[in-house]
Chains A and B, each alone.
Chain A
Amino acid sequence: MRNGDYSPNRFQAQADAVNLICGAKTQSNPENTVGVLTMAGKGVRVLVTPTSDLGKILACMHAAPEQTPGACAPLSLGARLSKTPRLGGYEARGPAPCLEIGGEMNLAAGIQVAQLALKHRQNKKQQQRIIVFAGSPVKYDKKVLELIGRKLKKNSVALDIVSFGEEDEEKNEKLEALLAAVNNNDSSHIVHVPSGPSALSDVLISTAIFTGDGEGGSGFAAAAAASGFEFGVDPNLDPELALALRVSMEEERARQEAAAKKAAEEASKQEKGEQQSTSQDATMTENVNPGTSEPEKKTHDLTDDENALLQQALAMSMDDSSSTVAVRDTDMSDASADDHDLQLDRFILPHQLPVDLFMVVEALCCLLENQTLYEHRSRLAIPLQLSVQESAAEQSNQTDVNKLLADQSFVSSILTSLPGVDPNDPHVKDLLASMQSQSEQSKEEDKTPKEEENKSSILYTVLRGVQAGGACNGI
């Protein structure tokens, strides 16, 4: 179960698949209940009694596997479910136990305990189904398994088998025999998942285990696999979040390009070909176009190579491992680039807009929307915060801030493109003048804390100024 033949390891792949299936089942019918039990380790153990609360199931599956000393053969997980109409809810009691890897898989006992647990379900009208994840060798005879299968069929319990792990002819034979004994009218299925690059969950999505239940399963699976939106966030639902993610991606990309350019210059002395940025993101495939790194105004049209970098920055902000980033890569490779549904669509940011100025701009935006900065901020995702912190740590940006702030034309261009702000407004003009004087003052002093202070005072001034300006314009 610790093998890496399924990425990242068998146990984790199995856990992901279980989470996916549980989610699909609970979503397809609100009265479905799902429970989980384990078959190996110290013995068959029910982790979660059938419940319609997906949170409990996920919490239980999330518990990290601990290593038991001298553990031999792998652990297998049997998931058992009940289906369709159900009244009320059934709550699992007690804390979620940890998942340990160790011992041998006890298939027969696992199935029998699952059957017993299903028998004692609260709503007798529900249909019964057991899903078995068999990643280990099966130590029972074919005859025993057939007997169990017939008993399940007699009590009209359906059985789905997910067979993965070592390729074993005997195991396949036994599982096929079990399925044949249980199968009644094609209500039971078996899936063999060979080891390989594609994740266990992805293979399962397309199988009858998901689609065999009908409408609900496939809908959920489609949503889970690839939302079709950039970053998996629907701009219609959360435009600020989508904007924030997009902007942080752009900033990151700009930074990457600057780094890449530097590296390219060095590398061109030794070899031809461009060096890519950090080693951490070795899985990313990027075609960086250095020609586009000028700080000119751009629209929000994103090409495919930009997508790659966008995801990279997103991944870095989210502190994810490189493997999951790779997955997102494949999912979003065909995401549409145009996104004109954003509220602040016509708000154009130059590529090298440093972070602090972005904060200023953000403050302006939320003022115009009549929100407090806190409210606005709280709706933005953590990625934005992290990316802000990361790039804010870079020294090179800080000096840029003052330059840009001092550039009155630049600031006024920003302000003009904001809805509701009139640059000829006396308040705004005063504001710009005060900003310029303040930034000149800060240039003379070299200390970082002072700069920060000045920046925040600039921010505050801008806020006040726009607020006054806004009041004048009758916002």
Chain B
Amino acid sequence: MACLHDHSCEEHDCSSDWSLYKHIDLSKVSALNEAVSGSVKSVFRAWEHRLNSSEGHLESNEGDPELIVFIPFTSDVKIKSISVVGGADGTSPAKMRAFINREGIDFSDAQNMQPLQEWDLMENLQGDLEYQTRYSKFQSVGNITLHFSDNLGGDTTQIHYIGLKGEATQLKRDVVATIVYELMPNPSDHKTRSETGGGLSQVE
């Protein structure tokens, strides 16, 4: 599915569409089976720099083409389409499977679970190809996990760029994080103002 614009994609119009990278929580991006730990963060860039992988790219370990990329967002997003730029000589990924809003997916989970959507990828060295999603299913995405299960015959899998197109809502998925549940109240934890010696204590 090529770009549906009637002009060439080098123009700046397209870049504003591919701006979901700004909403990615880069510090929490992680990948499994990457050769260089932390290299996954370098694949998220602006559209116009999609072919510029001077800062490094994501590569899987020798002899093992599988990769899992976990992408959390700073707020809920709607994803319209995904673009992936792979490496040359068969190192581009061939299959992509997506799971949303699940944390801690590893290879055994990914292989056993039914993905939300699956795509067969083609070599996309120029970054022209984008793969559309079933938009209704990708409406409130807090995080997305991409599992690249196979490549085009190479020893390793290389990914130079991952682009996400869509809209960001301002909503945040609220995670109940630091709540302590009490079975029984502990008076020392609930000092009133009178006990701590300040303020007016209210008697109702």
Contact = CB atoms under 8 A, between A and B. Distances in A.
Interface string A115-156: 000010000110000000000000000000000001001111
B106 A119 contact: yes
A124 B37 contact: no
B106 A155 contact: yes
A87 interface: yes
Nearest to B62: A150
B32 interface: yes
A442 interface: no
Contacts of A153: 33, 61
Contacts of B108: 119
Interface string B96-116: 000000011011100000000
B177 interface: yes
A87 B175 CA distance: 11
A182 to B, nearest CB: 12
Interface residues of A, number: 11
Contacts, number: 24
A154 B64 contact: yes
Interface string A87-99: 1000000000000
Interface in B75-125: 103-104, 106-108
B202 interface: no
B66 to A, nearest CB: 8
Contact of B37 (A125, A150, A154, A185): A185
Contacts of B106: 119, 155
A125 B28 CA distance: 9
Interface string B149-179: 0000000000000000000000000000110
B181 to A, nearest CB: 9
Contacts of A119: 104, 106, 108
A155 B104 contact: no
A155 B37 contact: no
Contacts of A150: 61, 64
Contacts of A87: 177-178
A185 B36 CA distance: 8
A155 B107 contact: yes
A28 interface: no
Contacts of A185: 37
Among A150, A154, A155, the one with the most B-chain Cβ atoms within 10 Å of its Cβ is A154
A125 B108 CA distance: 18
A172 interface: no
B178 A124 contact: no
Interface of B: 32-33, 37, 61, 64, 66, 103-104, 106-108, 177-178
Interface of A: 87, 119, 124-125, 150, 153-156, 184-185
19 contacts: A87-B177, A119-B104, A119-B106, A119-B108, A124-B103, A124-B104, A125-B103, A150-B64, A153-B33, A154-B33, A154-B61, A154-B64, A154-B66, A154-B107, A155-B32, A155-B106, A155-B107, A156-B32, A184-B37
Given A153-B33, A155-B32, A156-B32, 12 more contacts: A87-B177, A119-B104, A119-B108, A150-B61, A154-B32, A154-B33, A154-B61, A154-B64, A154-B107, A155-B106, A155-B107, A184-B37
